[in-house]
Structure 1
């Protein structure tokens, strides 16, 4: 049997090959290494990351030599490289696909499902993103970043636009939109802090919350936006979720409510969020993701005094990416042993 691995500038093919060698795939006669912009620096590679996140696997260049390599491949493992319809079509023997990242924008899921292939992925930075999400909740609701900026600018600022609503997190209700792996880690942290949690996710089996011992109230998306003090977004961008959060939902929010987004910018309609913040329809927002990165000069986001922004760093810890291939190894081996996985997408 043959496995094909695709390395890139962040996850080298040698590391991925080592992890695949520890998978219980049976007797592998060959692990073929393919490269996708592996010679770039992390900063140079960022442009290709943004392209594939925005346009998907069919609109970017596929790895050189991949179609030939896949002709007799049984397994395909990658990180950020595109997994396109043409790649899947060229691999008639393929038994499984795996990627060592949480997002699936680089994979043509329709082509995967048409072939009924098991597709496994890992949330390599789930813990860092969950931690960062709570950090943004504190930073925005308690004006931590704004107070810091004021001090650095020579001001000793004590008053902020959300003064009428300031309270502790324990007094708030947090609404989670999307209760996948990261969403559930955020819920776990909120439960530990005694925070009431509402959840909207039509795709998650409610039994999972009981299995993971999570205390939540399941609500419609309208109920979450109407009743939560903080709405935190944890969805992938799909045809169903793109621009899902628009003025129709934002107008349901309380004046003292906040939006937190550590997922993807395209979940939100930018103009509707900006208008709500400019008009003080909601108290504030915190974003780790933006519609254009870096944010260009003159962008209306930069003039908002009730918005906290970070530079897409929620999952950026020293150990997240190096561990990713080995997390995938664990997920694959558990799936092969048990026949199911939370990280399986069909």
Structure 2
């Protein structure tokens, strides 16, 4: 695209479904953008009039992100507004964009933006909270509780009829022996990003020892605030009662959980995944479960969604499955989409009002 000095430029540099929909919203309502929303929301229904109630931007060039998830875009030098999710917004990046006036960030972790440089150079920053991430963190803890409390076996036992019952309370009438609690256990988080941080806070409140591994270690201050401890990945796998995945589904993370990963886990440990199905080599996970290399798993995301009828995971008693619902309804994400788009519009209006 040939950008001219008379047009503002809004650059999206991260490939993310919320940001991609925000860009579609800013482009205006047509068959292509409506279809993008319908495809994202399916099988939920779309009320088009409620979504496209904002006029499209005028006199603005929208620069889209790379098509490959995890790649980072290269914004043109005349970018006015930068829209990001995970990519760090460094002083170097902003200094290379002399016309930059605003950073619109999806997510409330402002530590990925050099706020001091931005403030000193007249660049405003808005971080958009994500309610869907709160739901994802809650679902993660829900799955952990279900695993350690033996919820699936307990539910099945309570539904098994018997005519031997009496009128007196029959504590644990099914004789379940595999029951426990989260309190006092060690949970290892693979990744400490937006969801991982939220999970850590909830677990610490439950009296859980939270360790984590990530390719980029968080600062000592963040670790102290969250009450988490960094571990080498192999050490984390060997020490943890539960392992929970919280890294993006980039090509670098594909099949992160392979046979070697699973063999390094404790045989009484559980695996939880609410991130992306591509993170797990499911054939290796099935073998590990059958051979008792790990105790069980809980998965909200899957290699194929929905799972095919012959999938062996469907019949496994030591596996809990949910249908990719950790983040709540897809329609709930529309509020985040609209907030990002409205932030871009406000910033552009402010920039234009300040020009002579």
TM-score class, shorter-chain normalisation, is 0.5 to 0.7
CA distance in 2 between partners of 1:224 and 1:332 (Å): 41
Segments of 4+ in structure 1 off by > 6 A? 3-6, 8-15, 88-92, 115-119, 329-333
1:136 to 129, 132, 143: 143
CA distance in 2 between partners of 1:13 and 1:329 (Å): 5
Q: Give 5+ residue unaligned stretches, structure 2.
A: 1-6, 44-55, 88-92, 108-129, 163-171, 349-356
Aligned pair count reads: 280
* Corresponding position of 1:64: none
Moved more, 180-189 or 36-45: 36-45
Of structures 1 and 2, the larger Rg is shown by 2
Report the Cα offset of residue 332 of structure 1.
7.0
* Corresponding position of 2:213: 200
* Corresponding position of 2:305: 293
Contact kept, 8 Å, 1:233 with 1:263, in 2: the verdict is: yes
* Corresponding position of 1:244: 256
Q: Give 5+ residue unaligned stretches, structure 1.
A: 18-30, 48-68, 105-111, 337-346
Q: Give the SS at the match of 1:217.
A: strand
Q: Give the SS at the match of 1:205.
A: coil
* Corresponding position of 1:225: 237
CA distance in 2 between partners of 1:224 and 1:266 (Å): 21
Question: Counterparts of 1:14-163 in structure 2 under 5 Å?
Answer: 16-17=25-26, 36=32, 38-39=34-35, 46=42, 73-76=60-63, 83-84=66-67, 93-98=78-83, 120-122=105-107, 123=130, 125-149=132-156, 151=158, 158=174, 163=177
Moved more, 312-321 or 127-136: 312-321
Kindly indicate whether residue 270 of structure 2 is the aligned counterpart of residue 263 of structure 1. Answer: no
CA distance in 2 between partners of 1:299 and 1:103 (Å): 34
Cα distance change of structure 1 residues 196 and 290 upon mapping to structure 2, 3 Å threshold: same
CA distance in 2 between partners of 1:229 and 1:74 (Å): 50
List per-residue Cα deviations over 1:202-248 (Å, max 9, x = no partner). 2243245247x111111011111111000000010123211111111
Cα distance change of structure 1 residues 270 and 33 upon mapping to structure 2, 3 Å threshold: same
1:186 to 195, 199, 203: 199
So what's the TM-score if we normalise by structure 1? Answer: 0.65
CA distance in 2 between partners of 1:76 and 1:153 (Å): 59
So what's the TM-score if we normalise by structure 2? Answer: 0.64
Cα distance change of structure 1 residues 309 and 37 upon mapping to structure 2, 3 Å threshold: farther
Q: Give the SS at the match of 2:34.
A: coil
Report the Cα offset of residue 2 of structure 1.
4.3
Cα distance change of structure 1 residues 252 and 13 upon mapping to structure 2, 3 Å threshold: closer
CA distance in 2 between partners of 1:199 and 1:330 (Å): 35
CA distance in 2 between partners of 1:261 and 1:10 (Å): 23
